[in-house]
Every structure is written in structure tokens, then in C-alpha cells.
Amino acid sequence: MRKLRRSSLQLPTLAGSGKGARAAADDATKKQADSSARLSFKGREHWREPDVIGALHSRHGHVCAYCGCGLADKEKGDVEHFRPKGKVTNAPEHGGYWWLAFSFRNYLVSCWHCNQVIKGNHFPLRPRGKRRTASNWSWGNEDVRWLLHPEDDVEQWMVIDWRDPLCEIQPRDGIPVTARQQVVWTRDFFRLNEEPAIGSRVRTKERVDEALKTERFSEVQTAACRYQPHSLFVRQMLSEVRPELIPDEEFELKWMIKQTANKLKRLAIQLSRNGLSKAEKALAKEYLWTLAALWKEPPVGASSDVEALLGEFGLKSRVQPLFDRL
């Protein structure tokens, strides 16, 4: 898990008169008329719109926010509702955090395994923690959860032991007791010290070891970039063995922009040869939204750095109209 700044992106789908914002207003009206009304989200999955997916990738890359494993090339990852929208396991009376169904701040990118096999509708609270409802909810006054979120100080609290053959995750010594408990809880809940997460971390370590041995340093730097699988682990390892190879913020942003620019280029070639399928057109939109969201609200570094890099890659004028809508 990588540390993220809190987002205040106003995405067209979810803000103003966007489809998601309208759906949220409809739900609120329904619940106001009848607090026990059941909401269905089928056919209203507006979190799959290109602006939302693109913005999520600008924060997480193609990496699961929970286990840190990479998503396959063609896999977008699940848009995971951190607080479950429909119902909460073991709290049947609650009915879910329906008012956060269309809230970008409640979304994370997750792999299928973490979202659908493990997390489902679970959202455990600390003992005696009161579960918030729509009437007493506000950001900053949330219910007291067990699971870590990327906006927590996760990079300070989690240590991945690169000397251990299984690269196990542990809480860092000396952190507050509650943080320690949350690390242990999250690690055990998502089975981060079990397969498949362990195997994926071990393979990452082997690749980085090999690149270090053969002095392929740009490969090492790329592996420590925030958009790469298990990059926190690679950074922690490098901080002890080769701290000078830890990439700076500009490197990370540039890497992401370059990757996205290359994907757009491939689609442009495809367009000129055979045209684009509906799915490919949506992909192109997502990539452009990724760049716009990066520019508006980069997870590290400054917006002006992204603007300069987009200029370097000849993409600024293409991204500008989307940036202006954020």
C-alpha cells in the first residue's frame, strides 16, 4: 500500500449534474422518504465511467491498493468501495454506506482476489466503534475502522522484511499501538503474508536483486516507482542497500506519463489501421483522464511538474479540455 494525499477531484460523472451525482441525489430522496428502502446499483455503476477509472489509475497505477500486486495488462482492476455501498457483513441492521456509493473518496483500485474473494462487504470496526449512518456521517468524523486506507501513514507503519525469504509484512517498531493493531489486522485480513501475495513479492525481490547484480539501474528505479507492484517494499529495500537509486517524484510522474502516452500512441496506430472497438475507445478516454487527473492532483510532486511533462510529450493541448473540466 502506498501513501496517498486526500483527493478533492471533482469528476464530471460524480459532481454537478453528472450521472453519478444525480444517482446519489435520487438515492438520498428515496431514503428520506423511506429509510428502509432497498437501493439497487445494478445498471447504475457510474464508477466505471472513463473519468473515474482514469482518475483512479492516476493515483494507484495498475496496482491493487490492498495487496500491492500488479494487475494484468488488460485488467482495469475493480473499483472497490472501501466502505461497502449495499450492505455490511456482520451488521445486517446497517444497510451499507449507500451515501458513499458515488463518492470518489470511497473508491480504491483493487484486484479481483482482494475485492471479491476476500473483502466483499466486510468493513469491520474497532471494538465499541459506532457505525456511522447517513445522518451522522461526515468526512473527518468517520467510524473507527480496523482496515488501513492509503491516506493513513501506511508507509511509516508497514515494514516489509526484504531479508526474510518470504518478505513478510510487519508493523514498524515504535509506532502507536492502534497503528500496530491496524497493520496486523489489515495484513491478516487480506492474507498479505500468504499466497498469492507472498509469491508476488518474492518474485519482485528476485527481479530487483537480479537487476542490481547486473547493474540495470533504471530497471531498479522503475521497480521502486509508486505505480509499480510492491514498490513500497522495493523502496524500503533500496533505502538500506542503494538509497541513491530511489526514484524522485519527477521520475515517478514521468514514468507514468510516458507509459500512458505510449498506450495512447498504440491506440492511435490501431485507429489509423483498423479503427477502434468500443472498448478501445473507452480505454483511450481513460488514459486521457488519467493524465488530466495527474495534472490536476498529482499523488506526489506539483501540478506544474505534470504540466511541463505533458508539454514535453506533446500531450498538453489534448489533455487541457479534460483538465479544465476538473
**Positions that interact with Zn ion (CB under 5 A):** 64, 66-67, 111, 114
Please, is 183 exposed, middle or buried when counting C-beta atoms within 10 Å of its C-beta (0-12, 13-18, 19+)? buried
Q: Which is nearer to Zn ion, 137 or 185 (CB)?
A: 185
- How far is Cα 184 from Cα 174, in angstroms, rounded to an integer? 14
Q: Which is nearer to Zn ion, 129 or 196 (CB)?
A: 196
Q: Where are the beta strands (DSSP E) in the chain?
A: 78-81, 107-110, 158-160, 169-171
Helix (H, G, I), strand (E, B) or coil at 78: strand
Closest CA to 41 of 107, 91, 99, 86: 86
Q: Which is nearer to Zn ion, 113 or 145 (CB)?
A: 113
Taking phi first (over 0 means left), then psi (-120 to 50 degrees means alpha), and beta for anything else, what does residue 56 get? alpha
Q: Give least dist CB 184 to Zn ion, A.
A: 18
Q: Give least dist CB 111 to Zn ion, A.
A: 3
Q: Which is nearer to Zn ion, 66 or 295 (CB)?
A: 66
User: Amino acid identity, residue 201?
Assistant: R
Q: Give least dist CB 113 to Zn ion, A.
A: 6
Q: Which is nearer to Zn ion, 7 or 186 (CB)?
A: 186
CA atoms within 13 A on the CB side of 34: 5
Q: Give least dist CB 43 to Zn ion, A.
A: 26
Q: Give least dist CB 189 to Zn ion, A.
A: 12
